[in-house]
Amino acid sequence: MLPALGAVPFLAYVGVFLLYPTLVVVGGAFVDDDGALTLQNVRAVVGSPYLEAFVRSLQLSAITAVVGAVLGALLAWAVATGDPDGLLRRVVTSASGVLAQFGGVTLAFAFLATVGFEGLVTVALREQGIDLFAGGAWIFELPGLVLVYTYFQIPLMVIVFLPALDGLKPQWREAARSLGGSAWTYWRRVAGPVLAPAFFGSMLLLFANAFSAYATAAALVSQGAPIVPLQIRNLQTSEVLLGQQNLARALGLGMVLVVAVVMALYALLQRRTTRWLR
Amino acid sequence: MRAVRYSVLGVLGAFFLLPLVAMLDFSTRGAPGGGRDFTAWTSIADDRALLDAIAVSLQLSVLTSVLMLVLLLPTMVWVQLRLPKLKRLVEFLCLLPLVIPAVVLVVGIASLYSWVSYFLGNSALTLTFVYVVLVLPYAYRALESGLQAMDLRTLSEAARSLGAGWGTVMLRVVLPGVRAAVLSAALLTVALVLGEFTLASLLNFPTLQVAINLTGKRDAALSIAVSLAALLLAFGLLLVLSQLVGRRRTARVAEPLAPSGGKA
Amino acid sequence: MTTGAGVHLTSLSRSYSGVAALDGLDLLVEPGEFVSLLGPSGCGKTTALRILAGLETADSGRVLVGGRDITRVPANKRDMGMVFQAYSLFPNLTARDNVGFGLRLRKMSGAEERSRAGELLELVGLADQADKYPHQMSGGQQQRVALARALAIRQRVLLLDETLSALYAQVRVQLREQIRRIQTELAITTLFVTHDQEEALAISDRVGVMSRGRLEQLDSPGAVYQRPATPFVAEFIGVTNSFSGSVSGSDLLLADGARLPAAVLAEQPDGAPARVLVRPVDLHVAAEGQLAGTVLTHSFLGPVTRLAVRLANEDVVRVDVPSAAAAASPVGAMVRLAVEPGSAFLAA
């Protein structure tokens, strides 16, 4: 069976650097320090403070997914209605690529420069007598994360939703018009329903993106751990290694499960999208 | 319609420009009452740790691109031609990292890395191994669309009927045929590696993003100057590429499939 | 059922960034008539159709339908059914709902809409596909649904924009016969845009050949084919052989001294350079022919066989001979060719 040997290097590599770590996470979630089976880690995850972190992570992901999807779709629409080879489109897609995928730490600093204690906006408002931080240091807490996450969620939406908008055939609009329909009829009965799967699919993608994100939060929040990835950081870097390690694995398993469910729904909607928009 | 369009562009444009302007302002603030002060920008070139980190990240991006291509491209071609039954498995494995957040991958891979550094030394370049895993989904999609676009079976059969061996088929037929896809897979990889923070930070390796973050703890103006420089450079690079390769291909270069590793 | 309205386009002009797509087009289509606009791409035929549909606006000129000026009426108030080249069905609606789309906008009740949509799907022979989605149908089926959808609204004019161009040859011929049958039955005024001359000649009452935004000739298919009004039309219709030389009486004098009878040259001054066109069917193999050449290839086309013949001046011409007689001129044979008297056209 010589041909089968060709796939061995790849499978071995993936086995060591992807499957093994995955199994460590899944297996570790269900054992104690001595390697005996236990549900203790899983039970800890569904109790305080980890459950709260999960709830906040879900809130953060949901809010930024919805806001990012709506605003991103609007921006994508504004770009798609312009010249397909124009400067506007090139600038927006390139900027979106950078902000959506490259950002991380740099975006955290961007917002510190804007609405941090000495940020441009903070200082400008202070001169007007308005204290941006009257309600507390929100920039380092969940509201701050919502703001910064939105900053990379909108560009991600632009990138994933633009192809769907491009897939709308001009003939559909023209056919609807020549059959007597107004622009509103076209959007309500054709473009809306056709874009819906792509829109909600993209929203799920944004959700998974925010839920998995770590860098921005890590750079912004140095004290406390409002969301799950930061809880994992605390466990991972804490001095007391034993016992914590498996708890981190249980948290990781929880994250994988959430993302897996979301991505499965995404794949389902994606299938519908490609059937209508080619 | 037109008014709505311009107001959308105006409002969101302002939202996206404001933090960039603020970064420029923050990194050039002088003493109160004084003029602009560019020491933060000029001191980038004097910061040894930062320069080393940039070098590390650049080496990592090259190593990761090469290892990714060597591992993935021959396997995908081989599977398509000789092992079609394995296609689904390979696709599944390549897309699997999408559902495993980087921060979770760290948890599972930390113990493995103590072995890696035992054998290969405690070098930041060993991050290459896990970065290849991280870029698998993006590289796979890019290469897959390239392979779909060419009739791999017919071309390889033609080459073999003319007496070419598998090595020749790979180097003289497949590689030139998927050049654009290879390029876009490599570009995605470079972008991802240069932007990666999670794994490097939690495995304690000094890459560009880690260095930026550390700098922020002691010199806010410097870290903000570096951040802005990095963002603008990446933007300039993508813009030039979009000009070079045309709209279609850039869409692919910039197209993420899901939770992005760079930020995750 | 439907009675078509007459269409009158008067001096329509339209230019895109300085380039004229339509340059003062005049066109009169009688009620119930089937007119094709034929021409190479960029000749303005599609622009004319889209202006009639209201999807584009003319820079100047007027559009009259049924005697009423609709130049400023928006597309969705024009009652025109349009069938596009491809992919115009709404992907999220079944065949029946696609056909019913325009009906619902006309405040038809659900039951009425269903029965009328069913009727039309029956008319195009797709009653059994009513619940299929576009992506489940073949290209030909999709175009028939698009036709039914356009017919459903009892439109006053039916507009067909390269409707058959994206289909396979066989489906294409079937569908064009079906369209013609339905059109005749319902007496719908129809404007058909195509670049395929065979299609235009086969299907129309009259064919309008367009070039550079103007109508070159508007006539019955037979007249356009047999009596092209301009050199452009002559060249665009039918496969043609081209001969260049100079005028000598009513002959074309070729460079090698051979004379080609061409009555069309009678009014040209002697010695002037000229080019004439002759159809393959109007060249004959004949012992007393004026041109000499060598047979290069045979292409069997059924009743006739087309010979490629290389002339003394290295030009290759095509000659149709009855297939039964083709064996008399085998490949490699020297033959003489005669031109059917009065068959030569003046070229542009």
Whether the predicted pLDDT of A19 surpasses 90: yes
Task: Decide if B53 contacts B208 (C-beta within 8 A).
Answer: yes
Every domain of chain B and the residues it spans: 1-37, 48-254
Distance from CA of A188 to the nearest CA of C (A): 12
Q: What CATH superfamily is the domain A48-276?
A: MetI-like (1.10.3720.10)
Task: Decide if C299 contacts C305 (C-beta within 8 A).
Answer: yes
Distance from CA of A192 to the nearest CA of B (A): 17
Q: What CATH superfamily is the domain C239-346?
A: Nucleic acid-binding proteins (2.40.50.140)
CA-to-CA distance for C250 and C263, rounded, in angstroms?
5
Q: Any idea what DSSP says for residue C220?
A: -
Q: A174 vs C88: CB contact, 8 Å cut-off?
A: yes
Q: How confident is the prediction along chain B (264 residues), in pLDDT tens digits per residue?
A: 789 999 999 999 999 999 999 999 999 987 776 678 888 888 888 888 899 999 999 999 999 999 999 999 999 998 988 888 999 999 999 999 999 999 999 999 988 888 888 888 888 999 999 999 999 999 999 899 888 888 888 888 888 888 888 888 888 888 888 888 888 888 888 888 999 999 999 999 999 999 999 998 888 899 999 999 989 988 888 788 777 665 444 344 334 443 333 333
User: How far, in whole angstroms, is CA B141 from its chain's centroid?
Assistant: 14
Interchain contact B28–A (C-beta under 8 A): no
- The pLDDT, as a whole number, for residue B261 is 36
- The pLDDT, as a whole number, for residue C205 is 95
Q: A96 vs B129: CB contact, 8 Å cut-off?
A: no
Beta-strand relationship, C80-83 and C157-161: parallel
For testing contact with chain A, the best of B28, B66, B91, B99 (most A CBs within 10 A) = B99
For testing contact with chain C, the best of A166, A179, A194, A273 (most C CBs within 10 A) = A179
- The pLDDT, as a whole number, for residue A2 is 75
Token pair in block for residue B142: 């890019």
- Asked if the peptide bond before residue A49 counts as cis, ω within 30 degrees of 0, the response is yes
Q: Write the burial class of residue A42 (CB in 10 Å: 0-12 exposed, 13-18 middle, 19+ buried).
A: middle
Query: In Å, what is the CA distance from A67 to each residue of A12, A101, A155, C158?
Result: 42, 18, 12, 45
Task: Chain B: list its partners (3+ Cβ pairs within 8 Å).
Answer: A
Token pair in block for residue A205: 């993608």
Q: How confident is the prediction along chain C (348 residues), in pLDDT tens digits per residue?
A: 446 789 999 999 999 888 889 999 999 999 999 999 999 988 999 999 999 999 999 999 999 999 899 999 999 888 888 999 888 999 999 999 999 999 988 888 889 899 999 999 999 999 999 999 999 999 999 999 999 999 998 888 999 999 998 888 888 999 999 999 999 998 999 999 999 988 999 999 999 999 999 999 999 999 998 888 888 898 888 767 888 889 988 888 888 888 888 888 888 888 888 888 888 989 999 988 888 999 999 999 999 999 999 988 888 999 999 999 999 999 999 999 999 888 888 876
Q: Measuring CA to CA, which residue among B225, B171, B210 is closest to residue A104?
A: B210
- Is 3.40.1280.10 the CATH number for B48-254? no
Q: Which residue type is seen at B89?
A: L
Q: A-chain residues within 8 Å CB-CB of C165?
A: none
For the question of an ipTM over 0.85, the answer is: yes
Tell me, letter by letter, the H, E, C secondary structure of A61-114.
Answer: HHHHHHHHHHHHHHHHHHHHCCCCCCHHHHHHHHHHHHHHHCCCHHHHHHHHHH
Every domain of chain A and the residues it spans: 48-276
Q: C-chain residues within 8 Å CB-CB of A194?
A: 90-92
Distance from CA of A111 to the nearest CA of B (A): 6
Distance from CA of A225 to the nearest CA of C (A): 46
- The pLDDT, as a whole number, for residue C1 is 43
In what side-by-side order are the strands of the sheet with C241-248?
A: C259-261, C251-253, C241-248, C273-278, C345-346
The residue of chain B with its CA nearest to that of A149 is B263
- Is 3.40.50.300 the CATH number for C7-231? yes
pLDDT in tens, A155-191: 999 999 998 999 899 999 999 999 999 999 999 999 9
Q: A172 vs C90: CB contact, 8 Å cut-off?
A: yes
CA-to-CA distance for C82 and A137, rounded, in angstroms?
61
Token pair in block for residue B227: 């951040």
Task: Decide if C247 contacts C269 (C-beta within 8 A).
Answer: yes
- The pLDDT, as a whole number, for residue B262 is 36
Q: What is the full DSSP assignment across chain A?
A: -HHHHTTHHHHHHHIIIIIHHHHHHHHHTTB-TTS-B-SHHHHHHTSTTHHHHHHHHHHHHHHHHHHHHHHHHHHHHHHHTS-TTSHHHHHHHHHHHHHHHT-THHHHHHHHHHHSTT-HHHHHHHHTT--TTTT--GGGSHHHHHHHHHHHHHHHHHHHHHHHHHHS-HHHHHHHHHTT--HHHHIIIIIHHHHHHHHHHHHHHHHHHHHH--HHHHHH--SS--SHHHHHHHHHH-S--TTHHHHHHHHHHHHHHHHHHHHHHHHHHHHHHHHH--
User: How far, in whole angstroms, is CA B67 from its chain's centroid?
Assistant: 14
Q: A-chain residues within 8 Å CB-CB of B238?
A: 94, 97-98
- The pLDDT, as a whole number, for residue C36 is 96
Q: Please indicate whether residue A224 or residue C305 has the higher confidence score (pLDDT).
A: C305
Q: B209 vs A105: CB contact, 8 Å cut-off?
A: yes
In what side-by-side order are the strands of the sheet with C80-83?
A: C80-83, C157-161, C189-194, C34-38, C206-211, C214-219
Distance from CA of C101 to the nearest CA of A (A): 7
**Residue C32, Cβ neighbours under 10 Å: how many?**
18
Residue A199 pLDDT grade (very low, low, confident, very high; cuts 50, 70, 90): very high
